[in-house]
Amino acid sequence: MLTNQNILLAISGGIAAYKCAELTRRLKERGANVRVVMTHAAKAFITPLTMQAVSANPVCDDLLDPAAEAAMGHIELAKWADLILVAPATADVIARINAGIANDLLTTVILASDAPLALAPAMNQQMYRAQATQDNIANLTKRGAKIWGPAQGEQACGDVGPGRMPEPMELVQLTELYFAADKGILDGITLTITAGPTREALDPVRFISNHSSGKMGYAIAAAAIDAGASVNLISGKVAIPTPQKAIVTNVDSALEMHAAALSLAPKSDIFIACAAVADYRPVDVADQKIKKSADTMTITMTKNPDIVADVAALTEDRPYTVGFAAETQDVEKYAKGKMQRKNLDMICANDVSKGGQGFNADANALSVFWQGGSEMLPLTDKKQLGKALIALILSQFKRV
C-alpha cells in the first residue's frame, strides 16, 4: 500500500521526536519514499544526521537556506508530498498550522501544499485538554486534516493521560489505512463483524448480560467502511450511533447472533468476532415475571454455541476469521490457546482488568497474534485503534 508513496515527515520539537527514526525506517520498509522536515526545536531531541541516515534523503530544516531556496525548495517539497505527517505535533505547531502562520520551513511547506495533512498530537495532558488546543484541533479537522492520536498513558513529565504520540507501528498502520481508503483498497471486500453484548433472558423483564458497549466493534466497522469495504454489522443492544453505510442485523441472544453469523459469514471475505457473547444461557425461560420469594435462587444454565469457532470450521466459503479474547490474566497464553483451539487466522486480546480500557471505555489496547507473527497496538482511542487494526488485518489477509 505504501510502495512509491511520497511521505513528508514533519518533526516538531517534542520529546517524542526520538520515535521518528523508527517511524521512518518502518515506512521505508513498506516501500514509502520519506523526506524529513524539522523545526529548530526538533533538532534538540533528534539530530538531522540521524534522520538523513534512516530516510536516505537530506533533511530540510531552514526556510532561509540559500542553497535550497535558490530552487524554491519549500515549494518543491510541497508539491512532492502525497501525505504530510506531522509527528510529533506539539501544541505550538498545531496552533501555528491552524492560524496559517508560515514562520519556519515546516509551517511554510504545509501552507504551500495541497497534500493531505495528518497530525499526531504529542504534549502534556493538560496542554492537550486545554480549550485552545481542542479548538485548534477541531478547526483543523473541519478543514480535512487527519488527527492520529494521541495515545494515553504515562508521560515524560510524570503525568498520566492523553497526549502521548502513538507508537511508530500504529502510525505506519494508520498511514497504510489512509492510502488503502484513498485507493478503495477494500473495494469488493465484504466484511462481517459482531459487536456489543448478548442478552440471555430469564423471564420477560430480566436477562443476563455483560458490560460490553459495542464501541470497539463499531469503530472497526467504521474503519472498514472508510477503506471501501461492504460491512455487515451483527449487533447486540448498544447505545451508540450506527456507522453510516453499515448493513445492520440487530440481535438479542447468542443464538440469534449465531444464526446471523452463520448466514452472513459464507458470503464474506473477512469475519471479525468482536461481540461479547454469553457463554451460557438459562435452560428454562419463565413465561411470566419471576416473583421474589425464596432467599436463594438456582438457575440451570446450558452452553451457547461458539460463534467464531463454528465460522472458522466452515468447509466451504470460509472467510478469513478473526477472534477477540477479553482476559484478566495471562493474556498472551490464553489468547494463543484460543486461536489454536478454534482454528482462527488471527486473535485480538485485551486485558479487561486494567482500568481505562476494554469494556465501556473509550480507549483500548490490543495484543494481536496470528500464525508466525504478532503486533502490540498500544492504548489509544478506540476509533484510532479500529483503523490500526483494520490495516493490520488487511496486511495479513492479503497474504493468505
**pLDDT average, residue stretch 89-93:** 96
pLDDT at position 356:
65
Q: Are 119 and 145 in contact (CB under 8 A)?
A: yes
Torsions phi, psi for 275 (to 5 deg): -65, 150
- pLDDT-based confidence at 71, cuts 50/70/90? very low
Question: Number of helices and strands (H, E) in the chain?
Answer: 14, 19
**pLDDT average, residue stretch 140-146:** 90
C-alpha to C-alpha distance for 94 and 89, rounded to whole angstroms: 6
Does residue 399 surpass a pLDDT of 60?
A: no
Phi-psi domain of 72 (left: phi exceeds 0; alpha: psi -120 through 50; beta: other): left
pLDDT at position 72:
47
Domains defined along the chain, listed by start: 6-180 (3.40.50.1950), 184-397 (3.40.50.10300)
Does residue 218 surpass a pLDDT of 90?
A: yes
Which SS3 state, helix, strand or coil, does residue 43 take? helix
Residue type at 233 in one-letter notation: L
pLDDT at position 70:
42
Helix%, strand%, coil% for the chain, nearest 5? 35, 25, 40
In the structure grid, which three cell numbers stand for residue 67, read together?
Answer: 542553497
- pLDDT-based confidence at 284, cuts 50/70/90? very high
**pLDDT average, residue stretch 350-366:** 76
Residue in this structure with the C-alpha cell 472497526, named with its chain if needed:
220
Decide: pTM greater than 0.75. no
Peptide bond into 66 cis (omega under 30): no
- pLDDT-based confidence at 357, cuts 50/70/90? low
C-alpha to C-alpha distance for 347 and 368, rounded to whole angstroms: 6
pLDDT digits (tens, 9 = 90+) for 174-213: 898 788 765 566 778 999 999 999 999 999 999 999 988 9
Q: Are 209 and 198 in contact (CB under 8 A)?
A: yes
Which SS3 state, helix, strand or coil, does residue 347 take? strand
Angstrom distances, CA of residue 227 to CA of 54, 124, 282: 29, 32, 40
C-alpha to C-alpha distance for 379 and 357, rounded to whole angstroms: 8
C-alpha to C-alpha distance for 259 and 269, rounded to whole angstroms: 18
Residue of 20, 60, 157, 274 marked active site: 157
In the structure grid, which three cell numbers stand for residue 182, read together?
Answer: 484513498
274 is catalytic: no
Phi-psi domain of 148 (left: phi exceeds 0; alpha: psi -120 through 50; beta: other): beta
